[in-house]
Structure formats: structure tokens, C-alpha cells
């Protein structure tokens, strides 16, 4: 059983500003910075990593690059959700071969009306049967093009020996609590909202995969560490510090805003891949103020 307790970062994908290719050097540089903090691991090719714009070889390249620099005790999760079961299985097997220790599988949603709980159950079980590594179900943020997985479906899927957990990015603690209550004790629930990490840990989640940690890795990691060590007040203070950054940049600006923020913090953000547009200039100063109000620019020395 892989232990997913702690804070994970859904890493961004830097692109070369001239060629548009994946910038592996920048990617590795970011990882080295983030792993200076006690994060548990990373998610490669998640929503924040603009996974829908990456081809199969680019995903493999990123995973191999990550494997080169991630510490031995750091976990690598790969996003491998596709629209067909066949494609999802192929990407899952490729990810395992490239060094991923687990996969995060988003639901197929293009033919949304046909994706009944029974169809989704067959899909996830087939992927889990074929996967060489543990499978996490991904409840994608509902503001994106996706569908909502009923709690009873997740409770049924958790009985599969290779479906070991879920990342729930709906941003509602009540729904997260439903999952914790309905699923087996060894099924690991992770929260996807960086504004709710502390609250999620209190109700039984084991950790989180939170994009706010890309901008505040020390603070996001400290929430999990302090909670585990019984320092609830410290965890709560860190949560209060970074919750506005999640709400206003991650939730309000998405990947383009996160990338602008990374540039401001001295990391390699860059532009998103078209057709996703860069953050409008008018909002750039808004992002800077959000970081400054949270004390993150001072911490970064910029």
C-alpha cells in the first residue's frame, strides 16, 4: 500500500516561449526548488499541468525528468485520464514505465450523458485491473468540463484492491466527509482545494494535492506536518495565510494566474499552451498584491 498522507503539488508544465515545446530544464529547476520543502510528492500532468494539452510522449518526458530529480522518499503521481478505456490504460502503463508510483485517473466526460455509474465503474475497474501501480480516482473540479462521481460509486470502486484513493476537487468539506464516511478505512481521501486542507485533515482526509502549494510550498507542507504532529494552531495559521491565495489565484485565475505568480516568485512559470491565453496584464498586478498580502513575496525575497 502506498501512503499518500501529506501535501502533494500538482506541478505546472513550463513551455519554451519560442518553440512552444515542453521546457524540461525549467521543469527540473522548479522541482528542485519545491523539494527543498517537506512536500510528500508531486502530480505530473494534472489539471494545473495543462494535461489536456500534452501528448503521450510529452507526458513520458516529464515523468522521466521528474524521476531524475525527485528525492527517493518523494512520490510521483501521473495524471492518465483519457476519454476511452483503451487510451487510459495505455497512458497508465506508459506512466508506470516512466517512473510514476501511482496514477490519478479523471473520468471520461465527453459523452457525459452516457456515463452512467455502471459505465464508469466498468471503466475504472478495467483501468485498475491493467495498471501496474495503484490508482487514484480524480473528482475533477466541477467548473471544468467533467462530471460528478456519486459517493455510492466511489464507495463501490474502493472495494477494488488497486483503487486506493480519490482526489476530490469539488471544494466542499461536506462532500469530502461523505467520501470519508462511505469508503473503507484504508481508502485514502485527498482534498484538491488548498483552502480546505486543514479542514479536510480534521475530518479524516490523509492529505491534499493542492496547487496553492506551488506558490507557498513551505506553508502548504507545514499544514500537513503540523497537523500530524498535533500542532493544530500552527496548521490553522498557515491555512489562514494561504487560503486567499487559493481562492483568488488558483480558483479565480487558473493555470495562467499560477504561472504568472511563479514568475513573480522567481520560479519558471511562463505562458500557458494555446488555446489557453496568458493572464491579462490588467490582472497581473492583482496577482502580485495577493501574493504580497499573504507575505509570499517577502519569503521569496522578491
List of domains in the chain: 6-232 (3.20.20.70)
Mean pLDDT over 193-220 rounds to: 98
Q: What percent of the chain has pLDDT over 70?
A: 99
**Residue 215 binned pLDDT confidence (cut-offs 50, 70, 90):** very high
Interval 245-290: pLDDT, tens: 999 999 999 999 999 999 999 999 999 999 999 999 999 999 999 9
Interval 100-111: pLDDT, tens: 999 999 999 999
Interval 41-61: pLDDT, tens: 999 999 999 999 999 999 999
pLDDT value at position 145? 86
**Is 167 among the catalytic positions?**
yes
pLDDT value at position 67? 96
Q: Which of 112, 159, 167, 289 does the annotation list as catalytic?
A: 167
Interval 92-148: pLDDT, tens: 999 999 999 999 999 999 999 999 999 999 999 999 999 999 999 999 999 988 999
Backbone dihedral angles phi then psi of residue 151, each to the nearest 5 degrees: -55, -40
**Residue 299 binned pLDDT confidence (cut-offs 50, 70, 90):** confident
pLDDT value at position 1? 83
Mean pLDDT over 217-232 rounds to: 98
The DSSP line for the chain is -----EEEEE----B-TTT--B-HHHHHHHHHHHTTS---EEEESSTTTTGGG--HHHHHHHHHHHHHHS-TT-EEEEE---SSHHHHHHHHHHHHHTT-SEEEEPPP-TTGGG--HHHHHHHHHHHHHH-SS-EEEEE--TTSS--PPPHHHHHHHTTSTTEEEEEE-S--HHHHHHHHHHS-TTSEEEE--TTSHHHHHHTT--EEE-THHHH-HHHHHHHHHHHHTT-HHHHHHHHHHHHHHIIIIIHHHHHHHHHHHHHHTTS---PPPTTSPPPPHHHHHHHHHHHHHTTHHHHHT-
Q: Residue 302 pLDDT > 80, yes or no?
A: no
Q: What percent of the chain has pLDDT over 90?
A: 96
Amino acid at each position: 500500500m502506498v501512503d499518500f498522507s501529506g501535501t502533494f503539488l500538482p506541478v505546472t508544465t513550463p513551455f519554451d516561449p519560442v518553440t512552444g515545446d515542453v521546457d524540461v530544464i525549467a521543469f527540473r529547476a522548479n522541482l528542485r526548488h519545491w523539494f527543498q520543502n517537506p512536500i510528500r510528492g508531486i502530480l505530473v500532468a494534472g489539471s494545473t499541468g495543462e494535461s489536456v494539452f500534452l501528448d503521450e510522449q510529452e507526458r513520458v518526458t516529464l515523468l522521466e525528468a521528474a524521476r531524475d530529480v525527485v528525492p527517493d522518499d518523494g512520490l510521483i503521481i501521473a495524471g492518465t485520464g483519457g476519454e476511452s478505456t483503451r487510451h487510459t490504460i495505455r497512458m497508465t502503463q506508459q506512466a508506470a514505465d516512466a517512473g510514476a508510483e501511482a496514477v490519478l485517473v479523471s473520468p471520461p466526460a465527453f459523452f457525459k450523458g452516457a456515463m452512467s455509474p455502471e459505465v464508469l465503474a466498468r471503466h475504472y475497474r478495467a483501468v485498475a485491473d491493467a495498471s501496474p501501480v495503484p490508482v487514484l480516482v480524480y473528482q475533477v473540479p466541477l467548473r471544468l468540463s467533467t462530471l460528478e462521481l456519486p459517493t455510492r460509486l466511489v464507495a463501490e470502486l474502493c472495494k477494488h484492491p488497486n483503487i486506493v484513493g480519490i482526489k476530490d476537487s469539488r471544494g466542499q468539506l461536506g462532500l469530502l466527509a461523505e467520501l470519508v464516511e462511505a469508503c473503507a478505512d484504508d481508502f485514502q481521501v485527498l482534498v484538491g482545494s488548498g483552502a480546505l486542507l486543514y479542514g479536510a485533515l480534521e475530518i479524516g482526509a490523509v492529505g491534499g494535492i493542492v496547487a496553492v502549494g506551488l506558490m507557498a510550498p513551505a506553508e502548504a507542507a507545514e499544514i500537513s506536518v503540523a497537523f500530524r504532529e498535533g500542532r493544530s494552531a500552527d496548521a490553522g495559521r498557515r491555512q489562514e495565510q494561504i487560503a486567499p491565495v487559493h481562492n483568488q489565484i488558483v480558483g479565480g485565475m487558473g493555470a495562467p494566474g499560477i504561472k504568472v505568480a511563479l514568475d513573480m516568485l522567481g520560479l519558471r512559470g511562463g505562458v500557458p499552451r494555446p488555446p489557453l491565453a496568458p493572464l491579462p496584464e490588467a490582472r497581473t498586478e492583482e496577482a502580485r498584491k495577493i501574493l504580497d498580502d499573504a507575505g509570499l513575496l517577502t519569503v521569496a525575497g522578491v
